[in-house]
């Protein structure tokens, strides 16, 4: 598993239109995303590439295909290269997070539905009806 963190975006070459530019995307050590992604595509060191939020671990994108020209990490997104991902992750990446400390994928637990009593619902309904009537 390889992990690339700390990408920064800066304005690069201005395009002929004058109002658009190519974004430079670099790691803190100066490695350029465009060159890195091209090298990853050419060497295919891992089966999977994922864009993962560095702080919260949610998965932005996942692919087995080429990176160059198709994927780019936003600031705050790390690129993780690995040979295996949990079953179900490619189809439902939002169902998983990544723990950078353990370097493990974690299946998100479904949130328990909020169960409210009839009295609580009635109270909310009366409050909303009062609000609706006050606005007319």
The rounded distance, in Å, linking the Cα atoms of 37 and 40 is 5
Q: For residue 20, is it within any domain?
A: yes
Q: Is residue 125's pLDDT more than 90?
A: yes
pLDDT in tens, 9-57: 998 888 888 888 888 999 999 999 999 999 999 998 899 999 999 999 9
User: What's residue 111's pLDDT?
Assistant: 84
Structural domain includes residue 123? no
Q: What pLDDT does 135 receive?
A: 76
Q: Alpha-carbon distance 67 to 50, whole Å?
A: 10
pLDDT at 15: 86
User: Considering its fold, how many domains does the chain have in total?
Assistant: 1
pLDDT of residue 105: 96
pLDDT score recorded for residue 45: 86
Where do the H-state alpha helices sit in 20-103?
Answer: 33-43
70-90 per-position pLDDT tens digit: 999 999 999 999 999 999 999
Segment holding 96, helix H or strand E: strand 96-99
Residue 88 lies in a domain: yes
**Would you give the DSSP letter of residue 38?**
H
Domain coverage including residue 36? 2-110
* 96 occurs within a structural domain: yes
User: pTM to 2 decimals?
Assistant: 0.77
Tell me if 52 is assigned to some domain.
Answer: yes
């Amino acid at each position: 598993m390889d992990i690339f963190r700390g990408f920064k975006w800066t304005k690069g070459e201005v395009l002929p239109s004058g109002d658009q530019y190519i974004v430079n995307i670099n790691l803190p050590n100066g490695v350029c995303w465009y060159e890195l992604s091209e090298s990853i595509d050419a060497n295919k060191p891992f089966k999977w590439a994922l864009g993962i939020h560095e702080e919260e671990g949610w998965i932005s994108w996942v692919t087995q295909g080429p990176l160059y020209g198709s994927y780019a990490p936003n600031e705050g997104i790390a690129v993780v290269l690995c040979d295996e991902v949990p079953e179900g992750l490619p189809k439902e990446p939002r169902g998983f997070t990544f723990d950078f400390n353990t370097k493990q994928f974690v299946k998100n637990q479904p949130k328990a539905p909020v169960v409210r009593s009839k009295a609580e619902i009635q109270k909310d309904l009366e409050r909303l009806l009062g609000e609706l009537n006050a606005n007319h």
